[in-house]
Each structure stands twice: as C-alpha cells, then as structure tokens.
Structure 1
C-alpha cells in the first residue's frame, strides 16, 4: 500500500514543489484539502491523524500549532519551517551531515534552511575532519533568488523590476545562524551576510578563508580532497575540481535537487574560497524534504529528485 502524505501549507511555494515531486509517484498517496478545509482546524487535525507522514510548509508559529494538532497520532513529521531546527526531540534533516540512518529512524525531522545547506555542506565535514578549526569566526556571504522569501518577497520583486539587489539581516542574529553554528559544531556563531537578487531561484553560498592566519587549517587541496572523500558515492552532492574563473546563476535555472561544491585557492595556498551552488527551492527546501521523506519511508533517497 502507498504511504499517505499530508502537506500542510501545500498552496505555498515549497508545498507546491513538493506536490509536484510526489504526485506522479505510486509510493505515496497525497491527502488533499480544498481551499476551505485548509483553513479548518478540525479538517487539518483529521488529516494529520489519517496520514503516515506530514510535511509542514508553514510559518514558524503555525508549524508549532500543527505539531500540537498531530499529538496522539502515528504521523511522522517533516517541518520545513525554522521552528524546530535546533529543538530537542527533532532530527536535523540533512542526511549527509547527521547520517541517513538518523533521518530514516526519526519521527520528527526539521528540514534545513537553504543558506545553512550551503554553509554546512562545506564547513561541517571539514571541521569534523580536523582540517578547519572549530573555533574560527567564520563569515558567510550568500545570494539567493527571491522565491526563498515567500509570497510577500516574490510579489515585491515581481511588482518592482527596478530592484537590482537586496541585502538584509543587517541587525545580525539571523534565524539561520543557530543551525549553522550547531551542526558545524562551531565555538562562535558565523557572521552571516545574506542577499537577494532578481532571479526566481538559485543560490550561491561562499565562505572565505584566510588560511595562512587560521590555526591547523589545511591547504586548499587538502580541503578539496577532504570534501571529495566525505561525499564519495553521493548522487546529490558533487565536489568539483575543474578550474574556473567564474560561477554563474541564471534566471532561467530549472528546478534542481543537487548541491555543487567548489574549493578555490590562491596559488600560494594562503587563501581559499569555499563555494556552494544550489537551488534554494530544491536541495534548499522541497528537494530536501522529499529526500528526507524517501529515507523515512525506506525508499531510495534520490527517488523523485531532479539530479
């Protein structure tokens, strides 16, 4: 029998893309609520109690309320909000970082943020391998397509084509910083500088490294080889080694559930730029949720993904 799945918030950007990935698949049967039922607490509660799995594509407070609605049911939950990413009792849904077995066995999984996916995909393995220090004050520079900001930001960019660049989080303490620090096991919160560009989807996350000033840091090639070893055999994460002078994000980017990583180093080894490129709606959101759902359902983790 197929696994029943309820997507709470299926009308939002992330929810729509999850539906698109799951609808053609025979392994899953979607529990669908119409427009009126989606606003009805009792209909949602019934859906949670009827489902094998639920995916929450909701604002943080609404996600917490949804979890309370599901109490007493057998449903296993994936939360795509930020509400539970560092909460007790929740497994962080980045299988490459926390382990596929941990995600597969979990009843409560918190989907990673899109920016942290790029940062952690680069930094967590290198700190774990001892080729980057855990007590360095890391900086994260990143740009994303505007779809990551939800309906309001999408509307703002589409209504005002004159916007060329938006940087934000200028008060610091962005809500993604906690998961970056926690799951990279860092002594200090990274300094996070996020920005938005006038493209619907796509993201580049960069961590600049002054290697000559960093205690116990490996050379750029040592860092690259450590990532190659860590992601060996992965169908989702690719560590590139081809020389490049530039990386591009294109407005025409198609949906992708890949995570592509690079290590660029100075000729003398004194500096490096770690770079991740991903689809903020793919591996940064919907694709990650489907990957986690596959693992929790005992299926091939790449089933239904665009790779």
Structure 2
C-alpha cells in the first residue's frame, strides 16, 4: 500500500521536517508542486484533491482556506496549525492522550496535530485527571521552555542573525497564549492552566514542568502514587516513555533530535510537593514527528515508521 501525501507549506520549518521523515519511505508517495506554483491556489487545490492525506503546515487562516479547497469525500487532513485543535468535527492527534485515542485517529478524516507545549502538559496531566487524582476543577500552572526553532523562520533568523543575544526569554506575559484553551479542553479541566512559556538559545528541544502540591489532589496520594499512574498510562509505549530512574538534572537537549517524549515525576515527599516533567523535541514529538505518527496511524501503517526514537 502506498499513501499519496501532499504537504501544504512544505518549505516552512515543520513542513521541511515532515518531508525529511517521508522522503525515503517506499510506502509514501509525496505529491509536490514546483516552486513557481507553490502559492498558486488552483495548483494547491489540485494537489490537495489528488492526495490521500494532506498535511497543512500553514498559518491558521491559510489552513482553514486549504480545508475549504477540498472538493471530494476522501482526502484526509492533518492540520499542524492551531486552527482546528479545539474545533468540532476534528480529532485531536495526540495518539497517547487516552487509551482509545489512536483508534479515533485511525478512522478520522480530519485530525488536528497538537501544539508542542500542550503535548508535554497533556502527557503529564491527562492521566492524573482520568485516574481521579486531579479534579476537573484543579488550578494548575505549567512552566515550559523551547528551542528557538519553535518560533519558525523569523525567530530562527532573530537568534542566528545576531538580532538577540539573550540566553533565556519568557514571553506571553499577559497569560493569553493560544495553547491554553487546547490544554484545558483536552486535559478535561474546567480552567486553563497558568501557562508560562519561554524560549532558550538552543535550536531545538523542550522542557515542560507542572508543579503540584499533593494536598491539592482530589484524593490522598504520595509521590509514588503519582508516578505509578503515569508509568501505567504509558507502559509499553514506543513514543512516550516514563523514566523510572531518579533524575537530579533535566536538560532541554535530553530528547532533542528525536520523535520521542520522556516523562518524570520528581519532588519532595516531606513537603508534599511534586514536579512533573516532560522533555521532547519541539520539532519532533512536538510537531513533525507527531504529524508523521498520525499519518502512519491513519494509513494503517506501523505508527513509528520514519520516526527516530
């Protein structure tokens, strides 16, 4: 079986990474456009409708416009933009979110690729909500730092062209980041977390941290209980893994240049404080790797084909 794939926006950071993962695959045939036709709407519409699956690596409005170009009942979509992550009729493309999520993706026509920060947050929080350790009314915060490639070509140019010499820069200080509604909805929470993102002088990689007072849990639990819930949720997983060994240092580079994600539970039992930590590559499991994983699932292929784990 060969699946025909068109990457709309293949020259952007995420699009290039997806193409890199698909180029040598014999079970995927890429539908491509010449550079002169890349922005021609008629050519794009033709390519979209000729594909079995179209992967959208576009700004939100352009992604919505691309979906509107579909004039058949079979072309399937993976949207890497923010446009459809909380939209009705779209399946959330985080295969490890719930036990049946991969099955939902396999049969979906429209799949929204998760954001990089929400991927780490949801991997840590959703199992605790599902297990009843965190109530839906929990008030959470999430502190996260990403490599600058997460900002696309403009931020890459800023960091590599000498426009900024900063090593660490918090942003979204008004606490209105567009990822917050995605986190709330797919975690099953009533309130969006206080989301505090930052960018570091590292090309790729990501650390997502969720601090929790054990006293705020919905029922009495220890650090070990929290760790066991997460370990059980991802037991045997090939992409998301739980690190049982104790960690004293976590680095932004730990899962860089891979398509996996590693989860940890650390903390202080004496003070009743836990720190949930996810490390991933913002361009891997946080973007292109997730898109390829979703493509594999939708096409009935090995879910990790073409991925680096």
User: Normalised by the size of structure 2, how large is the TM-score?
Assistant: 0.96
Shift of 1:72: 2.8
Shift of 1:269: 6.0
Q: How many residues align?
A: 306
Alignment-derived partner of residue 243 in structure 2: 240
Alignment-derived partner of residue 134 in structure 1: 136
SS of 1:97's partner is coil
Deviation per CA, 1:103-135: give whole Å up to 9, x if none.
000000000000000000000011101122221
Q: Find the aligned partners of 1:18 and 1:208 in 2 and give their Cα distance.
A: 33
SS of 1:95's partner is coil
Superposed, 1:47-86 pairs within 5 Å as 47-86=47-86
Alignment-derived partner of residue 221 in structure 2: 218
- Say whether the 8 Å CA contact 1:219–1:269 is kept in structure 2: no
Shift of 1:212: 2.4
Alignment-derived partner of residue 20 in structure 2: 20
- Say whether the 8 Å CA contact 2:147–2:201 is kept in structure 1: yes
Q: Which runs of 5+ in 2 are unaligned?
A: none
Alignment-derived partner of residue 296 in structure 1: 298
1:150–1:163 CA distance, 2 compared to 1 (3 A)? same
Q: Find the aligned partners of 2:176 and 2:165 in 1 and give their Cα distance.
A: 29
Cα RMSD (Å): 1.4
Q: Find the aligned partners of 2:300 and 2:216 in 1 and give their Cα distance.
A: 45
SS of 1:152's partner is helix
**1:90 aligned onto 2:118:** no
Shift of 1:253: 6.9
Q: Which runs of 5+ in 1 are unaligned?
A: none
Superposed, 1:1-307 pairs within 5 Å as 1-98=1-98, 99-160=101-162, 162-216=165-219, 218-250=221-253, 254-268=256-270, 270-307=272-309
Shift of 1:166: 1.4
SS of 2:183's partner is helix
SS of 2:285's partner is helix
User: Normalised by the size of structure 1, how large is the TM-score?
Assistant: 0.97
Deviation per CA, 1:162-188: give whole Å up to 9, x if none.
121111111112100111000110011
Q: Find the aligned partners of 1:179 and 1:245 in 2 and give their Cα distance.
A: 30
